[in-house]
Amino acid sequence: MNSACGKVPTPTLDQVVILNPGSLERFETQEFLIMLKRNIHRIMALAISALAISACGKSETAPAVKDEPVVTDKAPTAETPPAAAANPVTAAVAAPVPEAAPANLPKFTLAWSEYTTWSLLVTAKDVGLIDASEGKYGELERKYGVDIVFTQSSYGKSMEQYQGGTVDSVVITNTDALSVANARYETVKDASVAAFPTSYSFGADKLQTNPDIKTWAALKGVAVWGDEMSVTRYLHWRACTVNKTDVKDYPFTNMDPTEASNQFIAKSNPDMRAFGGWSPETLRVKDARPEVIDLFNSSMIGKYEITDMFVVGQSALDRAGGKEALKALAEAYTTMVNRVENPATQAATLAAVSKNFSNTPAETIKTALTLTLVTKPDQAAAVFNSPEFKASLPLTEAFSKTVTKTIPGPVVTAFGTKAEAPSAVLRFDASYVTNPSVGANP
């Protein structure tokens, strides 16, 4: 055995000294010798360590362990997050310690469903940035003086909650935002604000088919199964346009995408030959059935045509704590994106995201992030003002009027602040996250 002072010899039995023999008085001599023989290896090990310590003042240094980020179920003090623009270097994602929030703190609610970047956002609750439950708060809630509550459900249910006015905000795609904003306005007379995009789809939304359907022409007359009141239906409609075919010849059957993907994977429904959805369901399908054809996906249409967004009711922004809550969530999302981009924190962050993303493996989440391209809140103005994003609005309106029939006619939309467009039902307004004077604490 080597130590910092040189080699320590292995002691023999006659070198082991037993002190305080009076403490062994309950043993007979023969019994003690038997016990000694049975435990000789332990006694010798202890002696070796003792000799090493006495020789140089410390035991042998253990082999170095690679400093890998880890996820722990222990509850250390929640770490202080870096500023939104900073790149964090924390080596691990730790479970936060819940802290009671003051009783008079303004409450703000967000409805969310599983999706690559939305699951990344809500993982802020697992690192102490946002507590996400009522009556408790995390670091950013404390910083901005708000109590933010997350409500998880299916995508369709989250839209229903928002348009019914039971939550303050929701994460949805721009293709659904128009009809959802119109429904909220008709229900509770509240306008909607698209405050910042979280990402845009570059292949994440897919129409997948059995291997015998290899072309769009071969899909004619075959129903695609998925959520008919969602972005999947929009993608199906756009695929018909891109392929210059009549949507009437390409049926669509409504089913929750989680259930539809399960049936498509299991091949349990003989009528289901095509499935439409998004991550993580489409990733699960491809993993379970590699032979499935990726017939059409969102990379085949315009950039920003399917943009994932954070949408909030104007009434929530106007009341106490609303702007602060929005800034807290924007900072939380920026921090989580920084964590997943930073090699020092990526592994631990992806492991934490997995728990909010149907336990999707980290490597699969990495794949998902190549199909769902992240945009940070400070890029909101650039995205909203881009020609590509603005070109998507007429398409969304036509889809909502003619396919889902969720709007009766034109819906007033605008780009800019409330002062610039006070009558807009849906407004694309990045000022809440890009202008430091808006929503700042006094």
Confidence of residue 373 (pLDDT cuts 50, 70, 90): very high
pLDDT over 90 (residue 70): no
Q: What is the pLDDT of residues 199-242, one digit of tens each?
A: 999 999 999 999 999 999 999 999 999 999 999 999 999 999 99
Distance CA 307, CA 231 (A): 10
- Are residue 96 and residue 14 in the same domain, yes or no? no
Q: Which two tokens stand for residue 241?
A: 């346009």
Split into its structural domains, the chain has a count of: 3
Distance CA 348, CA 342 (A): 11
- Tell me what the mean pLDDT of segment 244-273 comes to: 98
Q: What is the pLDDT of residues 270-326, one digit of tens each?
A: 999 999 999 999 999 999 999 999 999 999 999 999 999 999 999 999 999 999 999
- Are residue 44 and residue 84 in the same domain, yes or no? no
Listed residue (399, 92, 84, 430) closest to 240, CA to CA: 399
Place of tokens 């128009």: 178
- Are residue 174 and residue 118 in the same domain, yes or no? yes
Confidence of residue 437 (pLDDT cuts 50, 70, 90): very low
| Domain housing 23 | 2-56
Averaged pLDDT score across all residues of the chain: 83
- Tell me what the mean pLDDT of segment 23-50 comes to: 41
Strands 252-254 and 372-374: unpaired
Evaluate whether residue 89 is within a structural domain. Answer: yes
Evaluate whether residue 222 is within a structural domain. Answer: yes
Give yes or no for a contact between 101 and 137, defined as CB atoms under 8 angstroms apart: yes
Question: CATH no. for residue 228?
Answer: 3.40.190.10
Evaluate whether residue 64 is within a structural domain. Answer: no
- Tell me what the mean pLDDT of segment 191-200 comes to: 98
- Are residue 288 and residue 310 in the same domain, yes or no? no
- Are residue 195 and residue 211 in the same domain, yes or no? no
How high is the pLDDT of residue 440?
34
This prediction has a pTM of 0.77
Give yes or no for a contact between 360 and 162, defined as CB atoms under 8 angstroms apart: no
Q: What is the pLDDT of residues 414-432, one digit of tens each?
A: 999 999 999 999 999 999 9
pLDDT over 60 (residue 371): yes
Tell me, letter by letter, the H, E, C secondary structure of 399-434. HHHHCCCCCCCCCCEEECCCCCCCCCCEEECCHHHH
- Are residue 352 and residue 246 in the same domain, yes or no? no
How high is the pLDDT of residue 61?
35
- Are residue 311 and residue 280 in the same domain, yes or no? no
- Are residue 85 and residue 48 in the same domain, yes or no? no
Distance CA 109, CA 292 (A): 39
Among residues 253, 269, 300, the one where a domain terminates is 300
- Are residue 309 and residue 403 in the same domain, yes or no? yes
Evaluate whether residue 350 is within a structural domain. Answer: yes
Evaluate whether residue 62 is within a structural domain. Answer: no
Distance CA 146, CA 150 (A): 13
pLDDT over 90 (residue 259): yes
- Are residue 353 and residue 415 in the same domain, yes or no? yes
Evaluate whether residue 61 is within a structural domain. Answer: no
Range list of H helices, 211-358: 216-219, 231-242, 257-266, 281-288, 314-318, 322-341, 343-354
How high is the pLDDT of residue 409?
86
- Are residue 43 and residue 88 in the same domain, yes or no? no
